[in-house]
Structure 1
Amino acid sequence: MSVSKLDEEEFESGELDRDDVFEMLSNQRRRWVLHYLKREEKERVDLRTLVDSVSSWEYETPADELPWKKRKRVYTSLRQSHLPRLDETGVIEYDRNRGEVALTDEARKLQLYLEYVPEDDIPWSHCYLGLSGVGAVITALAWVPVYPIGELSAVALGTLLTAMFGASAIVHTYYLRRNRIGHEGPPKR
């Protein structure tokens, strides 16, 4: 995609249209590039190192065990298509002559778009709504004195409800970190 497809004012201001962001992030290799750059502590990354990591994730095989043709395929698509696209949007700086790539501050804005509800997951709002319903039922059973809930003291009831929401919050935090760009390990597909 060329710069002409982007609205000139949006491009010059560094603000991308939501559709452009989704189009840019729709490609798995681009997301892997951003993931790798985000978790690296170096300011600039060598293209060959980046290709090795992306190839390894894509083929689920260590880079040194991959055939040359598979790594070449990834190298060519990154060099000719994906890195220039990310560079033109201002998310990375790609020095084609030196074969170096660096993440820019604009990449932080993409984090919001990458923290999504995976296809095989339920929205957390539904989980918390369900927990609230269970909490309301437990509270009603304690108020009506139905055994065994009616036998609980106010402290025990409060502890039970707090534990439910606390456990849910811990699991929620774990899933958010796992879906975050730049987390440890290979990114989720």
Structure 2
Amino acid sequence: MSLTRSSALAEADIHDILRNDRRRRVLEHLQESMGSVTLRELAETIAAHEAGESPPPRPLRESVYNSLHQTHLPKLDAEGVVDYDKNRKTVELQPGARDVNVYMEVVTKYGITWADYYRSLATLSLVVVVAAEIDVPLLEALPVLLVASAFLAVIAASTAYQLWTRRWTYLRSLLR
């Protein structure tokens, strides 16, 4: 049995979309905003990110605005990833964004993805719990339930941290 993607977008098209920093920033901002945003808001946010200052310099804002309007948003709209209303200058995610989102996995500030972090933590917890259960020296004195509970607490705290930092990033973008 072969596995096939049920995506309407080909992988080459997804990689082409994600090859450009501004298109990636558009998708990240739309995912965080959970609704329709204006072209001006997108341009302001992306320019601030590129400049590393808020508010960003006017020439950069205008450059970002024009490139989004003329190039990036029409491309994303044509691929079915966003709906770009050129008259109202509004943008919102479309179902095709889910195909692209799979390729935009979040990376922590330490350079690993959250999925890698959780997979490593789960593997470590399994090894330690099994080691405590089979009485490996140094771990035999620890109750297995305590070890498992400690790892579950670390996983819960990590999840809370991940959600909080993502929400905080979104709130900071609103305050700019």
User: Which sits farther off after the overlay, 80-89 or 130-139?
Assistant: 130-139
The residue number in structure 2 matching 1:18 is 11
The residue number in structure 1 matching 2:3 is none
List 4+ stretches of structure 1 deviating above 4 A. 116-119, 149-152, 176-180, 182-186
1:102 has 2:92 as partner: yes
1:58 has 2:50 as partner: yes
TM-score normalized with structure 1 length: 0.68
CA spacing shift, 1:158–1:60, aligned 2, 3 Å = same
2:32 to 12, 18, 39: 39
CA spacing shift, 1:127–1:157, aligned 2, 3 Å = closer
**3-state SS of the aligned residue for 2:96?**
helix
Paired with 1:150 and 1:98, the residues of 2 have a C-alpha distance of 66
Q: CA deviation at 1:159?
A: 2.3
TM-score normalized with structure 2 length: 0.72
Q: CA deviation at 1:16?
A: 0.2
Q: Give the alignment of 1:66-145 within 5 angstroms.
A: 66-116=56-106, 120-121=111-112, 123=116, 124-141=118-135
User: Gaps (5+ residues) in structure 1?
Assistant: 1-12
The amino acid across from 1:112 in the alignment is: V
Q: CA deviation at 1:184?
A: 4.8
Whose radius of gyration is greater, 1 or 2?
1
Q: CA deviation at 1:85?
A: 1.2
Paired with 1:177 and 1:29, the residues of 2 have a C-alpha distance of 25
Paired with 2:95 and 2:64, the residues of 1 have a C-alpha distance of 25
The residue number in structure 2 matching 1:49 is 41
CA spacing shift, 1:177–1:34, aligned 2, 3 Å = farther
* Count of aligned residue pairs for this structure pair: 163
**3-state SS of the aligned residue for 1:62?**
coil
The amino acid across from 1:110 in the alignment is: V
**3-state SS of the aligned residue for 1:114?**
coil
Higher relative contact order (CA 8 A, sep 6+): 1
CA spacing shift, 1:36–1:120, aligned 2, 3 Å = closer
The amino acid across from 1:130 in the alignment is: L
Q: CA deviation at 1:98?
A: 3.4
Q: Deviations over 1:58-108 (max 9, x none)?
A: 222112xx2211112211221222111111101112222432222223223
